[in-house]
Structures are given as structure tokens and as C-alpha cells.
Chains A and B, each alone.
Chain A
Amino acid sequence: MSHGAGGKSSRRLVEGLFAPLLLSSGSSERLADAAHIEIGGATVAFTTDSFVVHPLRFPGGSIGELAVNGTVNDLAVSGAKAHSMVVTFVLEEGLASSTLEAEVRAMSDALKRAGVTMVGGDTKVVERGKAEGMYISTAGIGSPIPGVHVDAKTVRPGDKVLLSGPIGDHGITILLARADLDLEADLNSDTRSVLPMIEAMAAQAAPGIRWMRDPTRGGLATSLNELARDCGLSVELNEEEIPVRDEVRGACELLGLDPLHIANEGQFIAIISPEFADMALNAIQLTEGGDEARIIGQIRQEPANTVVVNTRYGGTRIVDMLVGDPLPRIC
């Protein structure tokens, strides 16, 4: 299970097995959230994603919405505007048709909101017990946003780390919705398309955008550790600047979890050159849903390949990737 959690084990699986055997380049070095490829003279962005979530419906959304928004967001943080999607449903025998209908409606609404068309799909049914309700897999295609070029290798010391909004909402919502914990909170998943914020940022600050990512499984810490590794520099965060809702902070304190490791489905991180940072932040804050965006840190030369956090207590700590699933403490 830890191979799917988004942290070190997942990375080892991709780098050690999939990349050498499946990728034309043989290496996962240039892997991003979406691939930009040339077909017949045009550059097209191409991505795939799959959605396995339990429960299927949760406060703030459902698996169908995650599927649409997740695909749009992968394209958006690669610097592309989603155009069309295809979807595969793997359905468990016995799934109520009302459940399926609800998800299809949710997807339809999400597609309209995101301005993306669904152009095809496939369905399979597997035996009872083999799919936890349903699994959804998507592929999305889009066109590059003019002027935007994301590459970890262009990141420089002095660049600013920009975060679009509060972290931890989605992961904690799911954890509480599983009802194993008997905890309640007024929390919703943050699932949404981040494309409008990214387009607004690109309109004002495209030349300053070095790198972007949507911090899903494994959270902010995992995405930034990947960046640190890919650019060979240090990512330094200021804990006080990182927006976290009180409910998320409370749940994390109770359970011994770190918000930095919790999944998000409606946020993105951008590394912006210092000259464009304020303009980029402004553009996002003026976009609907972007009012909680913050600059949360900066890139430094040392310590290389490491993410550090300046804590509220005046100390500095190293933040690593997740190893497996975040396990709440018991005592």
C-alpha cells in the first residue's frame, strides 16, 4: 500500500521500474504532471490519472469531481489549458445505479465548470469485492498556455514559493469521512480546477513562472522534496506563512499528523522569479477562490536537495517526503 501513498516508495516504483522499462527516454528525470509532445507541428499537453477514493462521496465533492478537476489540474500545472478528456470506469458488480448516476452528473457539472469536453470513454465491470464501488481513470489533452514554460532546472536561489490556498482540507476530510475515527469537523474537500488562477497568474507574470505542481497525495512536503531533488537546491518555507485552517490544524494535532503531508485536490504551488512574485500573487488573489494565496518561502542554494521549515518557535526543521501512509499516533 505504501507504493501508492505518493511518497518515497511510490517514487522508487516509478524511477526504478516504470521509467526504465516504459519511457522512451528510459529515465523519469523529465517527468512532470503532463507531457508536452509535438504532433504534426503542434504542441499538445497530455496527461493521465486514476482515482481511487473511499468513500466515493464526501463533504465538498465526490470521486467524479476529483477525476475531472484532477486531470484539469495536472494539465494546468504543466502550463496547459485542458481541452478534452476521456474516461474509464471500472465498476464493482452490485454498484447501485443511483450511485453511478450521481457520479456521472457530478462529472458533467465539473466538466462544464472547467470548460472541458468529454470525448470518449470505456466501462468495465468487475466482480463484487474487486473495486470498492468504482475506480475512475482519465486521460486529458490540452494546449500550452502562451508564454508559460515550466522546468525545475530553471529554478534559481532567490525565487519565491507561492501557494494558492490552505493545505490539508482534502486529506483530512477523507480521513474523517471514513468514520473510523469518530471525529467530526466542519470541513470540505478543496477539489476545484486551479486553471483560472494559473491563467490569471500567467497573464501578468508568465515569464517569471519557473515550476508548478499540484500537491496531491503526499502533500506539500512530497511535491517540494521532488522539486528540491530535481533542481538540486533548497526549498525554505516559513511556517507562519503557510495557510492551514483551524479545523485541519486541530485534527492534525489530535492525530499526530503533519499538514505538510496531507493530500490536497484544489491547490497548486508555483516557483516564481523575485521580479514577478508580487504580480503573480496579486493576480491569483484577485481571481475567484484565490484570496488565500500566499508566498510561503524561497529557494536557497543550501542545504541542497532539502526542504526546510522555519518553525513558529524559532527553530528550523527538515521536512522529508512521506515514507508510507500517514499513520495517526495512538498514545
Chain B
Amino acid sequence: MRVPGAKGSPLEHKARGSDVRIVYSPADALEIAKKNPNKEVIFFAIGFETTAPSTALTLMSAKKQGIRNFTVFCNHVTIVPAIRAILDSPDMRLDGFIGPGHVSTVIGCRPYEWIAKKEGKPVVTSGFEPLDLLQSIVMLLRQLRASEAKVENQYKRVVPWEGNRAALRVMAEAFELRPYFEWRGLGFISQSALRIRDTYAVWDAERRYSVPETRVADPKSAQCGEVLKGVLKPAQCKLFGKECTPEHPVGALMVSSEGSCAAYYNYEHRKSLVTTISAVA
């Protein structure tokens, strides 16, 4: 809700009177469309492979029920091309990866094998609880110490090595890969995002509303890409803690409460701020 857009964030639009709502499932958005036949409902679909299957199922449901006042603005992205883009950067300084737990429940652990085999970097798919992360870090450190590089699954209680075939099937039913997509912080990456197939064109917001190819560039001073590649620590970005804070974020890494910059700000940076009396201006 706080992601800054060309004319303001969704939260700001909501404050100005637009009907912007948070839903916890795309199915809820479809329900809103059903209950409000005289309104046009657009579901803003975001996220990696974790959330894409639910969106796919919702498209299939909309088609089956013939609900016409519902469209999806598909901004789903895929994880592997993003990792590849980071590893391909000449200034990349990463030694291993904590793999995404919930993405992996859908795609499994196999898609990361090239990172270990070809790039020689260990990968450990991790859960989200503190103990999960601690254990995953231990597993990575053990590999690094033994000069090993393989893919391990720390989140075994939830992630199957082969992924979820049913979820992958529905994704293939509703989506296809875009030739390229622009990532904030990383630039253009080919085959890294999903769009809705022709068979579901009626429910594609991009086609219904002819969404222009607007490029909202982050200010040149934002160094999100370098932070993502390990070139800079968050606090070394010129905007960190000044123009870019969790309350007015500039880039993706500060918007999300799970982003590196937000984490650094809330848990490291604050320690040096405490001598300044709070009343934040």
C-alpha cells in the first residue's frame, strides 16, 4: 500500500477517495466483483511463484462462473531469472543463498541446482521462524567451510523437493512468460515475469484498460541494485535513513518490512538514532 507510484501510493489514492482495499486472497476480490455487479474490480496481483497459483485459480474461477466485471493486473514475477541476473552482475559479491521458503513450496528445490553446480554457490531453502533462519545459516556456513556447493532443504516440513505439480499446472494454464520485465533496482530481466494468456484475455486488466508502458524510474541516487547484489550494505546507500525510510520509502528494499533496508533501519540504524530525541519531523 505504501509503494510510491507516479501519482502517489495506493494508500494516498485511498485517502483521496479511491476505493482501494486490501484482500488476503484473490478469491476475495472475485467475491467483491460478484457482490457488486455495477462496479469494475481490478485485482492487483503481485508476488513470486508463491502467490501466482492462487491468482491462476481465481482467473479460472472467474471464467467458469462467467463473471465479467473482474480483471487481474498481473505483476507476478519469477525467482530464478532474478537470481540469475544478480549472479551475472560483474560486481556481485554474494557467497551463498538463503532460498525462499514459500516460493519453493510451489517450484520445489530443483530450480536452484544450477546455482550450486554452475556458479558454485550453496543454497539452503529456509523457513521463516527465527530458528529456521538460524539453522539455515548454520547449514550454509558448514558448506562454505567445507568448500561445498549444493542445494539443501531446511524447510522440509513445508517444502517438497519436487514442488507442487498441481500449482505449477494451474500457473501454466493461466499464465505465460513475458519476454522481459523491468525490475525496480535490477533493470530489465528477460523471461522473468508472467502475463495472462490469450485464453483469459477477457480478465486481463492490461488488455481491458490499455495500461500504458509507464516507466516509474527510481531516483538515480537510489542504490537498490547494489544492495541486492551485496556490493553495498543498506546504510551505505546515499538515501538510507534520509530520503528513504520505512515511512517514506523510495525503493523496494525499504517498502517491504522484510526488505534488507527496512530490516537494517529498524534494527541497526535505530541504535544510532536513539540519542536524538524522537518526535520525528
B21: shortest Cβ distance to chain A, in Å? 9
Shortest Cβ distance from A323 into B: residue: B247
Interface size class of B (residues with CB under 8 A): 20 to 34
A12 within 8 A of B: yes
A312 vs B130: C-alpha distance in the bound complex, in angstroms?
10
Given contacts A318-B271, A320-B270, contact A12 B280 (CB under 8 A): yes
In the bound complex, do residue A327 and residue B1 qualify as a contact, i.e. CB atoms below 8 Å apart?
yes
Shortest Cβ distance from B23 into A: residue: A180
In the bound complex, do residue B271 and residue A305 qualify as a contact, i.e. CB atoms below 8 Å apart?
no
Contacts of A216 in B (CB 8 A): none
Contacts of A11 in B (CB 8 A): 279
Interface centre among B14, B47, B130, by most A CB within 10 Å?
B130
B 256-281 contacts with A by CB, 8 A: 257-258, 266-267, 270-271, 274-275, 277-280
A 316-331 contacts with B by CB, 8 A: 317-318, 320, 323-324, 327-331
Shortest Cβ distance from A229 into B: residue: B278
Shortest Cβ distance from A8 into B: residue: B280
Contacts of A306 in B (CB 8 A): 270-271, 274
Which among A2, A180, A320 is the interface contact of B28 at CB below 8 angstroms?
A180
Q: Mark B11-37, 1 if CB is under 8 A from A, else 0.
A: 100110000001111001000000000
B102 within 8 A of A: yes
B122: shortest Cβ distance to chain A, in Å? 23
In the bound complex, do residue B279 and residue A15 qualify as a contact, i.e. CB atoms below 8 Å apart?
yes
Shortest Cβ distance from A305 into B: residue: B274
A 1-47 contacts with B by CB, 8 A: 1-2, 8, 11-12, 15
Contacts of B14 in A (CB 8 A): 1
Given contacts A317-B267, A330-B47, contact A303 B274 (CB under 8 A): yes
A12 vs B279: C-alpha distance in the bound complex, in angstroms?
7
A229 vs B280: C-alpha distance in the bound complex, in angstroms?
12
A8 vs B24: C-alpha distance in the bound complex, in angstroms?
25
B33: shortest Cβ distance to chain A, in Å? 16
B270: shortest Cβ distance to chain A, in Å? 5
B48 within 8 A of A: yes
A304 vs B23: C-alpha distance in the bound complex, in angstroms?
39
Shortest Cβ distance from B47 into A: residue: A331
A96 within 8 A of B: no
Which among A303, A305, A331 is the interface contact of B102 at CB below 8 angstroms?
A331
Contacts of A311 in B (CB 8 A): 130
In the bound complex, do residue B102 and residue A181 qualify as a contact, i.e. CB atoms below 8 Å apart?
no
A51: shortest Cβ distance to chain B, in Å? 22
Which among B1, B247, B258 is the interface contact of A8 at CB below 8 angstroms?
B247
Contacts of A2 in B (CB 8 A): 11
A149 vs B238: C-alpha distance in the bound complex, in angstroms?
47
In the bound complex, do residue B270 and residue A180 qualify as a contact, i.e. CB atoms below 8 Å apart?
no
Given contacts A181-B24, A327-B22, A328-B24, contact A304 B51 (CB under 8 A): no
B 224-281 contacts with A by CB, 8 A: 246-247, 257-258, 266-267, 270-271, 274-275, 277-280
Which among B15, B102, B246, B279 is the interface contact of A323 at CB below 8 angstroms?
B246
Shortest Cβ distance from B247 into A: residue: A323
In the bound complex, do residue A313 and residue B134 qualify as a contact, i.e. CB atoms below 8 Å apart?
yes
In the bound complex, do residue A1 and residue B15 qualify as a contact, i.e. CB atoms below 8 Å apart?
yes
20 contacts between A and B (CB under 8 A): A1-B14, A1-B15, A181-B24, A182-B24, A229-B277, A303-B274, A306-B271, A313-B130, A313-B131, A315-B130, A317-B267, A318-B271, A320-B266, A323-B246, A324-B2, A329-B257, A330-B24, A330-B47, A331-B48, A331-B102
Known: A1-B14, A318-B267, A330-B47. 7 other contacts (CB 8 A): A8-B280, A12-B279, A180-B24, A182-B25, A305-B277, A313-B130, A331-B51
